Structure 1
Amino acid sequence: MMVNTTYEHMVMDAQAACSADKNLLGGKAYNLAWLTRNQYQVPAWIVLTTTSFEQQLAYCQLTDQVRALDQLSPTEQREQCALIRQKLAASNLAPNLASKLKHYLAELPKGRLAVRSSAADEDSTTLSFAGQLDSFICLEDYPDIAKAVINVMVSGFGERAVRYRQQHQRSLSQTTLAVIVQTMVEGEYSGVFFTAHPINGSRKQGLISACHGLAEGVVAGTADCDEFTVDLFSEEIKPQIHQKQFQIVYAQTIGQGTERTSVPEVLQEKPCLSPQQIQLIKQQGFQVAQQLGRPQDLEWTIVHDQLYWLQTRPITSLPAPEQPIGKRQVWDNSNIQESYCGITLPLTFTFALRAYQTVYQQTFQLLGVSKSKLQALQPALSNMLGLIQGRVYYNINHWYAALQILPGFKTNKADMERMMGLQDPVDFIESQPDNWRQRLTRLPDSLHALSRLCWGFMTMDKRVRDFESHFKSTYQQVNRALLHTQPIAELMAQAEWLQRQLLDNWQAPIINDFMVMMTNGRLHRQLQALGIDNAEALQNNLLAGETLASTEPTKHLMKLCDYIRNKPGLARLLTGLANDEVMPAIQYCYPEFYKRCQDYIEAFGDRCMGELKLESTTLRQDPHFLVALLKNYTANPNLNLSTLGKTERNLRTQAESTLRQQLMLQPLGKYRWRYHRIWKLLNLWRKAVKNRESMRLARTRAIGLIRDIYREIGQQLAFYGVIAEPEDIFYLTVTELEQYMQGTTVQTQWQSLVTTRKAEYSEYQQQDLPHHFQTVGPVYLHNEFKAKTLSSFDKAVPHGANASSENQQLKGIGCYPGVVTAPIKKIFSPNDDLDLQGHILCTVRTDPGWAPLFPTAAGILVERGSTLSHSAVVARELGIPAIVNIPGLTQQLETGQWVTMDGTTGHIQLQQSPLTTKQIHAELNTQSEDADQKTNKAKAVLEETSV
């Protein structure tokens, strides 16, 4: 801290202060000078500048002690500040400072004075120091004023101020302040005016707090106040009038300071301020805020209808607005969390965001949407997804905006909500206006889009064949084994080439998705029109028996298990070793079977939990998941290809029979028409769902290629020290990688950036978000991401409850019939215990990579999803009772709890465990087999196998 040895600027009057620097005046005096300079009515004042403070420290020989404060620990700082306070408080004003003060006091009007602090960083845009420093009012004699000046300086090192600085990481060695001496205006009414509302957070309203007497009553909270909410842009006033029993006034009996007295009874129930006074305070105070360009906290007083401003400072904090202003947006991830489960890292999200824009833009071009309309749609197409606390959500507003391009918006909207599993349809997004002139204007475009869409449906078989042929040709041009030989520039170019080749030719999957959506919705309405009870369950059963690509990995696994069962030594090796030991042992002892496992990984190695996330670990990187599945399958002798799907085919036959019987009840004139229409629709729907699963497998393999390319880029960036480890690449964005190549990135030191993002996403892991919520205005500001209701619960079940009451149950959407009573097992990742024998699988969401787990489960409960989600479709093909769309499921149930699930009605009933306490302890003891025994067992298996 530099000591100014000149005395020129130790004390200033208001006129001189108007052109002085803030570092000399401190925050409060600088703002007071601004009010004075801009012709606002301010009581006469002078200021002892920060130079005075430095001179006083030097006079007390405290300069060096203050300079050394930052070198001490927090505890030592507080102890040293106490010694500084003690020495400073015992001093008199430095003679030269006292002389200056007396001179300037003589120029102030006669009367009582106030002495206030003005620290260098007080009343700043970030720190207010409110209540941290001392003030003294109603002083008359010089000795009292001089002592007050000393005490204000002492408060700069007070316990409150020191802790405040430590909490805000401000230097203590730079502590410096000025002191204001101001003429007291003993107001009849006083108070504060916030030009932004401190309670409801509105920046379009202000709040005036007013009391009788001095403003000290409002600031210190010792007087009763009226409050007036004022609209800044109208004359509207919302008063809250309170009984005002007490006020703070000059202490006449003592002749110094203030005292608390009673307000005259006749005034206690009346408003402090008239409407004219309120408008005057609002107009002048709001003008101050406008001139300074930010909301202000102003202190005022009124004497004989004259308004005086005592201080102004920026408002440093406001609550979230009670009524936020901005666009209302709806977010839902009931469907997309199947693809991007849990936390999704930046590289994956930015890749997906770009992919959605590219694919849907092509689709609308294919449908003949004009360039002008497509241009108007760009804000929606480029933001169809959102990333909220690390979770991917659909921006439903933008999906609806895109959907309105197609004819029949209301019907398509309902069909999309049904396919996506939206539990809370969005009612504030309406169809385009229904005026006949507008409909007529839109008719040519609608008919053109409809004809293109119908043509797309009619040519779907050829489109699917062309898509699969093009995909196979592109896929075969990338050699994974040679990626490590390519430098980063080639890898980036190859990733871009893959995206162009695949994403730019993705119309077939999107057109087919429209076909799934529309045929699903139309079939549902047709079944309802027939008066069929539980039409949704019947429709689910009608889909049973389809051979889908999503179950192909399961069938191949069963073939591998058949091979294992015919090799006793291989079976013993599989069950006797830990998962991470199995593959090396198989490679050495059973090379033929190892080759079959590698063929499986080549075909389905990219199909894993979270298979569309670039950061997911697949079987290519870690085959442990495959080993766990093989163990589970071989442990169940009844699980084989011959029994797979038999139950489901029977269910499909029964459902078709029920549909025929219901059609027979129709009048003869309608029978044939409805029969052919429904059966044609049913076949189209089945084919569309089958095509969807087939093309999604292609999507999974494409993402697998791109994943491996980015992993290799990460390897090389880590090799050259750009990032700390290869996996750090997933915390970067696609754009950042491209800008790094092009020389347009704004940050090249990525390790600190990745560290920050890792910490942020780690926090997100500990949080849970609802599947559906709304935001208003800036998405990440003042929005809590909370659901309104859990409408799918009949009644919330207490944690750990074993109730059997009919009312205490959960309810979702039944996807495959069957009643199962068994304990549940919650599984969220490949690292969890995957042994599902005799258990009901319970999880938040699934994707196709979960399919191999299903055959060993007694039943399936999924928190998210719809009747067309992967978990529902695969469960139907495998014939496993399943329920989806059960919000809060994993929070209400715990592993080991027994439930009865009904796959037809969607009800889940909690049951009391049939196991006795003794049986439970025995089972736990069996599961906790000693680690040494396991190791010895593994060694014995290897020795036996090698023999």
Structure 2
Amino acid sequence: MALVDNQLFVPGARLLAAPAAHLGGKGAGLLRLQALGAPVPGFAVLPTALFEPVLAGLPTTVAGLAERRARLGSFEVPAATQAALKALLADWGFGDGQPVAVRSSVADEDGAAAAFPGLMDSVLHVSSWPALLAAVAQVAASAYSDRALDYRRQRGLSLAARPAVVVQRQVAARAAGVLFTTFPEYPQEMAIHAVAGLGEGLVNGQLVPEEYYLGKADGQLVAQVHADLTPDPSPPVARSQTTQPSSCEKLLSSGGEGVEVGSTPAALLTPITLAELYHLGQRLEAALGGPQDIEFAQDQAGRLWLVQARPITQPVPEVVVYDNANIQESYCGVTTPLTFSFAQRAYATVYRQTMHALGLPAATVAAHEPVITNLLALQQGRIYYNLNNWYRGLLLLPNFRQSKADMERMMGVLEPVDFVHGQRKTLRQRLALLPRLALTLGRLLGKFARLPQRARAFQTRFEAEYQRFYQLPLAALGAAELLGEIEHLNQALLTRWTTPIINDFRVMMAHGAATRHLSRLGVADPEEFLSRYLAGSPAEPGAEAEPLASLLPALALRELGALAWQEFPALLPLLEQPGPELPAQVAQLAPAFHQRVQHYVARYGDRTMGELKLETETMRTSEALFYQYLVAYLAPPAAPAAAGTLPAQAAAELTARLKGRGWWQARQVRASLTTLRQAVARREALRLERTRLFGMYRAAYRALGQLLASAGTLAAPLDVFWLTETELATAAQAGGAQWAALAAARQAEFAGYRAAPAPAGRLVVPSRPAAPTVAPADGALRGTGCYPGQVSGEVVVITDPAQADLGAVRGRVVAALRTDPGWAALFPGCRAVLIERGSALSHSVILLRELGIPTIINVPGLTQRLRSGQHVRLDGRSGEVEITN
């Protein structure tokens, strides 16, 4: 069939010069679907050129618009067009029981910004020639209906509509519906709503559909809402009303009676049909460049037909994934606004240095400021990583996929996120990037080679600043001077943190390389192997045997405990029951011991539980806290079995696996393991300096709080933590009564967060509310084993380390929501540690391996299931935990 004088378009015939403009939105959409191989019923389009003569010269005044509608309402299809259309319809069987649908296709309909949803007419079940001609005129005239014109005015569109009309073979449907390839309310889902028969009652809001929600990642049925069944016991899924009165939006706001997951015998669409719709939706969204609103029909034989596809005009929010699997070590529980604002700035500062260290151009760094300044987020008073932005940063590295996998291991991300993808590059693009990538890699390798010297220089410079800071009379400084000291810390230390950053890269890359080498050797669980190989002292001859720097505070505390027990027995009754007055008593009764304590506090006084939270009390801010830690070391049980056998066993296993392998492969494997061990040891030393840096900021801000409270700007010195860094700078410079009120309001808000159940370790926003989980009835729990050993014992649950009875952990199994390196004070006396959320490469788990203590992490619901005083039996290798009473 050919195009007749620009009066009829049939797919397969000669194309118009600009099909989208002449065929209207719906006609052009059908043409795109057909070009993509989608199943589209036969159609023809009466193009805009056919109707233009009757509209020529008419203004868009009120009278002119009325005249346009009237002329279109009496429109007569030209004889040549009728002849061509009759021939086509005869091929469809029109007049012999095959009806057609006559549908609007205005030039700017079904666009990305203006969908005109349900505003123009469609006429179904047209089965005679006179009815068809009348339907064409009715549909064309509906372009000037009152509702269509009101929509144009609201959207700022031209009132001079250019109608086209689609004539399409009508499917004898057993079911029909609408598919949103991305559901705007929960963008990680695909929504399908369907009714029996034709879908017109669904799209016009008259019928309540069956609703199906499929996960976009895998097509699995997430939720199902039945239209006319007895309500399920579970509550209905809450949905918000949409703002536009579109047919598809009416569809989305029509509720069902109940929700259940999985297909049921009453389901209108079978799992096979849902799978077919899922794959069609995924393919079309990718091909058409964005989320699509697709109307479909299923005929009596079960075949699917697509009768419309248009962009979803409703804004689809970005799916953001927040995860605290690793950062919870440092910022456990509710965190104050000051700490969050400081941490957010610190992460941004460090990230910028990372980008510069990799040799990225300044313009590239500047373009990524929205990513850099939003690496962290505060959700319900708790700090999370914004994983989307961390992944976006990895796009700047040469190998996104490998870097992503390495970062996920380091961060303890249990479920990888796939909302951010690396971009496939052509061969020409890859070749063009080679010089820059080679230069970046060369710079990075050069920095890796100089890390030992750079780390020593960094620590020397840090020590000088550390000594200078603590010689300052902070309590005597004014507000401007304190703010100046904070800025000095920023410039002298925080903005010169490149060496720890480069070493962190070294750890990440070395860990990834070691894991890949072990996998190629046939090691089934490389993480478990590394947990043994890296535990305790090095197994390789000539390797550095010093303990990790992060373990030094615990070892020094153990030494002080032994000293008190052996040389100052008269102090023991006081030390066993520490109180606020104890530091003064020790200073009077045992000056030599007190001097040792002072030396310890000066060196390690910032190392404590929650040490990176500025509001945390440390041994430096309260010396009495030191003696609370010391209690666990005064009468320790027998030392745990040495961990040295585990590295030796792992080294022997490695030697056996390398037997028969080539010299080069053996060299690579051993070199990767040695590099990883050295990088981890260096990281722990540098992380101790980070702890001390945060201690300096803490001291400066506490002094500022004291000053603001004395001036009446704050109600109490510690209220300083309830304001952000920016707010504090303003308050210090200008004063004002509003700051005390703001601090009080924040305290009340965050008290609510603290009282509520802790949110999940991963938050997906927006996300469908999770169904309540039912704990196993047999008392079994399971997590990830990090250090082997079978232990039975009494549990002590610690949800708030600041309130923990440190002496109560001796000989018991510690169960915690999260841990951080400051927990090292608790670990030596306990028999095992269970952690609800953690990372196998976290600092606290590294310490537990060093101490040879069986450890299990990522035990769901641990702190809700266990109570202090219960007894458990656990296996640190398999991750199994059994409640025995």
The TM-score by the shorter chain falls in which range? 0.5 to 0.7
Taking a change above 3 Å as real, the CA distance of residues 733 and 662 of structure 1, as seen in their structure-2 partners, is same
Of 322, 327, 330, the match for 2:318: 327
Taking a change above 3 Å as real, the CA distance of residues 571 and 555 of structure 1, as seen in their structure-2 partners, is same
Match of residue 653 from structure 2: 658
Q: Contact (CA 8 Å) 1:420, 1:865: kept in 2 or not?
A: no
Taking a change above 3 Å as real, the CA distance of residues 732 and 235 of structure 1, as seen in their structure-2 partners, is closer
Question: What CA distance in whole angstroms lies between the structure 1 residues aligned with 2:252 and 2:795?
Answer: 56
Match of residue 721 from structure 2: 730
Q: Contact (CA 8 Å) 2:549, 2:685: kept in 1 or not?
A: yes
Q: Contact (CA 8 Å) 2:576, 2:631: kept in 1 or not?
A: no
Q: What's the CA shift for 1:381?
A: 0.5
Of 527, 530, 554, the match for 1:536: 527
Match of residue 123 from structure 2: none
1:916-927 equivalences under 5 Å are: none
Question: What CA distance in whole angstroms lies between the structure 1 residues aligned with 2:402 and 2:637?
Answer: 48
* Counterpart residue identity of residue 831, structure 1: Q
Of 825, 839, 856, the match for 2:812: 839
Work out the percentage of aligned pairs sharing the same amino acid: 39
Question: What CA distance in whole angstroms lies between the structure 2 residues aligned with 1:324 and 1:906?
Answer: 44
Q: What's the CA shift for 1:615?
A: 0.5
Instruction: State whether structure 2 residue 404 is matched by structure 1 residue 432.
Output: no
Taking a change above 3 Å as real, the CA distance of residues 846 and 230 of structure 1, as seen in their structure-2 partners, is closer
Q: Contact (CA 8 Å) 1:509, 1:695: kept in 2 or not?
A: yes
Of 761, 769, 773, the match for 1:771: 761
SS at match of 1:425: coil
Instruction: State whether structure 2 residue 859 is matched by structure 1 residue 886.
Output: yes
Match of residue 881 from structure 2: 908
Encode CA deviations 1:305-362: one digit per residue, 9 max, x unaligned: xxxxxxxxxxxxxxxx9x9831111100010011111111111111111111111111
Q: What's the CA shift for 1:472?
A: 0.8
Instruction: State whether structure 2 residue 603 is matched by structure 1 residue 603.
Output: yes
Length, aligned pairs only: 589
Of 628, 643, 646, the match for 1:648: 643
Match of residue 413 from structure 1: 404
* Counterpart residue identity of residue 749, structure 2: E
Structure label with greater radius of gyration: 1
Q: Contact (CA 8 Å) 1:230, 1:236: kept in 2 or not?
A: no
Of 367, 371, 391, the match for 1:400: 391
Q: What's the CA shift for 1:883?
A: 1.4
Of 756, 781, 792, the match for 1:810: 781
Encode CA deviations 1:31-85: one digit per residue, 9 max, x unaligned: xxxxxxx99xxxxxxxxxxxxxxxxxxxxxxxxxxxxxxxxxxxxxxxxxxxxxx
Question: What CA distance in whole angstroms lies between the structure 1 residues aligned with 2:445 and 2:483?
Answer: 38
1:274-293 equivalences under 5 Å are: none
Question: What CA distance in whole angstroms lies between the structure 2 residues aligned with 1:900 and 1:230?
Answer: 52
5+ residue gaps, structure 1: 1-37, 40-198, 212-228, 243-320, 777-782, 913-947
SS at match of 1:521: helix
When normalised by structure 2's length, the TM-score is: 0.63
Question: What CA distance in whole angstroms lies between the structure 2 residues aligned with 1:237 and 1:615?
Answer: 48
Question: What CA distance in whole angstroms lies between the structure 2 residues aligned with 1:597 and 1:470?
Answer: 25
Q: Contact (CA 8 Å) 2:578, 2:624: kept in 1 or not?
A: no
Match of residue 754 from structure 1: 743
Match of residue 630 from structure 2: 630
Encode CA deviations 1:891-932: one digit per residue, 9 max, x unaligned: 2222122212212222222223xxxxxxxxxxxxxxxxxxxx
Taking a change above 3 Å as real, the CA distance of residues 578 and 701 of structure 1, as seen in their structure-2 partners, is closer
Q: Contact (CA 8 Å) 2:532, 2:650: kept in 1 or not?
A: yes
Instruction: State whether structure 2 residue 780 is matched by structure 1 residue 824.
Output: no
Encode CA deviations 1:426-483: one digit per residue, 9 max, x unaligned: 0222112243333333333322222222222111111211211111111111135611
Instruction: State whether structure 2 residue 482 is matched by structure 1 residue 491.
Output: yes
Q: Contact (CA 8 Å) 2:575, 2:627: kept in 1 or not?
A: no
Match of residue 196 from structure 1: none
Taking a change above 3 Å as real, the CA distance of residues 685 and 241 of structure 1, as seen in their structure-2 partners, is closer
Q: Contact (CA 8 Å) 1:851, 1:871: kept in 2 or not?
A: yes
Question: What CA distance in whole angstroms lies between the structure 2 residues aligned with 1:598 and 1:774?
Answer: 46
Match of residue 89 from structure 2: none
Q: What's the CA shift for 1:589?
A: 1.2
Q: Contact (CA 8 Å) 2:780, 2:882: kept in 1 or not?
A: yes
Question: What CA distance in whole angstroms lies between the structure 1 residues aligned with 2:632 and 2:437?
Answer: 53
Of 762, 766, 775, the match for 1:796: 775
Q: Contact (CA 8 Å) 1:570, 1:590: kept in 2 or not?
A: no
Taking a change above 3 Å as real, the CA distance of residues 820 and 842 of structure 1, as seen in their structure-2 partners, is same
Taking a change above 3 Å as real, the CA distance of residues 569 and 449 of structure 1, as seen in their structure-2 partners, is same
When normalised by structure 1's length, the TM-score is: 0.59
SS at match of 1:830: helix
Taking a change above 3 Å as real, the CA distance of residues 498 and 241 of structure 1, as seen in their structure-2 partners, is closer
* Counterpart residue identity of residue 795, structure 2: I
Q: Contact (CA 8 Å) 2:354, 2:498: kept in 1 or not?
A: yes
1:107-118 equivalences under 5 Å are: none
Question: What CA distance in whole angstroms lies between the structure 2 residues aligned with 1:815 and 1:389?
Answer: 30
Q: What's the CA shift for 1:687?
A: 0.8
Match of residue 857 from structure 1: 830
Q: Contact (CA 8 Å) 2:349, 2:495: kept in 1 or not?
A: yes
Taking a change above 3 Å as real, the CA distance of residues 741 and 837 of structure 1, as seen in their structure-2 partners, is closer
Encode CA deviations 1:176-225: one digit per residue, 9 max, x unaligned: xxxxxxxxxxxxxxxxxxxxxxx9999xx9999999xxxxxxxxxxxxxx
* Counterpart residue identity of residue 520, structure 2: A
1:377-776 equivalences under 5 Å are: 377-479=368-470, 482-546=473-537, 547-567=547-567, 569-574=569-574, 577-636=577-636, 638-639=638-639, 647-664=642-659, 668=660, 670-741=661-732, 749-767=738-756, 768-776=758-766
5+ residue gaps, structure 2: 1-61, 64-182, 187-192, 194-201, 208-240, 255-311, 538-546
Q: Contact (CA 8 Å) 1:770, 1:787: kept in 2 or not?
A: no
Taking a change above 3 Å as real, the CA distance of residues 738 and 231 of structure 1, as seen in their structure-2 partners, is closer
Q: What's the CA shift for 1:232?
A: 4.2
Instruction: State whether structure 2 residue 358 is matched by structure 1 residue 364.
Output: no
SS at match of 1:825: strand
Q: Contact (CA 8 Å) 1:421, 1:885: kept in 2 or not?
A: no
Taking a change above 3 Å as real, the CA distance of residues 590 and 377 of structure 1, as seen in their structure-2 partners, is same
Q: Contact (CA 8 Å) 1:207, 1:230: kept in 2 or not?
A: no
Match of residue 151 from structure 1: none
Q: What's the CA shift for 1:533?
A: 3.7
Taking a change above 3 Å as real, the CA distance of residues 327 and 589 of structure 1, as seen in their structure-2 partners, is same
Question: What CA distance in whole angstroms lies between the structure 1 residues aligned with 2:397 and 2:611?
Answer: 31
Taking a change above 3 Å as real, the CA distance of residues 789 and 530 of structure 1, as seen in their structure-2 partners, is farther
Question: What CA distance in whole angstroms lies between the structure 2 residues aligned with 1:738 and 1:207?
Answer: 56
Q: Contact (CA 8 Å) 2:578, 2:627: kept in 1 or not?
A: no
Q: Contact (CA 8 Å) 1:558, 1:633: kept in 2 or not?
A: yes
Q: Contact (CA 8 Å) 2:204, 2:247: kept in 1 or not?
A: no
Question: What CA distance in whole angstroms lies between the structure 1 residues aligned with 2:206 and 2:783?
Answer: 56
Question: What CA distance in whole angstroms lies between the structure 2 residues aligned with 1:475 and 1:528?
Answer: 44
Of 862, 866, 872, the match for 1:899: 872
Match of residue 217 from structure 1: none
Mean CA deviation greater in 422-431 or 439-448: 439-448
* Counterpart residue identity of residue 551, structure 2: T
Taking a change above 3 Å as real, the CA distance of residues 893 and 230 of structure 1, as seen in their structure-2 partners, is closer
Taking a change above 3 Å as real, the CA distance of residues 587 and 207 of structure 1, as seen in their structure-2 partners, is farther
Question: What CA distance in whole angstroms lies between the structure 2 residues aligned with 1:760 and 1:236?
Answer: 39
Question: What CA distance in whole angstroms lies between the structure 2 residues aligned with 1:895 and 1:476?
Answer: 43
Q: Contact (CA 8 Å) 1:813, 1:866: kept in 2 or not?
A: no
Question: What CA distance in whole angstroms lies between the structure 1 residues aligned with 2:248 and 2:555?
Answer: 72
Question: What CA distance in whole angstroms lies between the structure 1 residues aligned with 2:879 and 2:242?
Answer: 53
Match of residue 142 from structure 2: none
1:302-341 equivalences under 5 Å are: 325-341=316-332
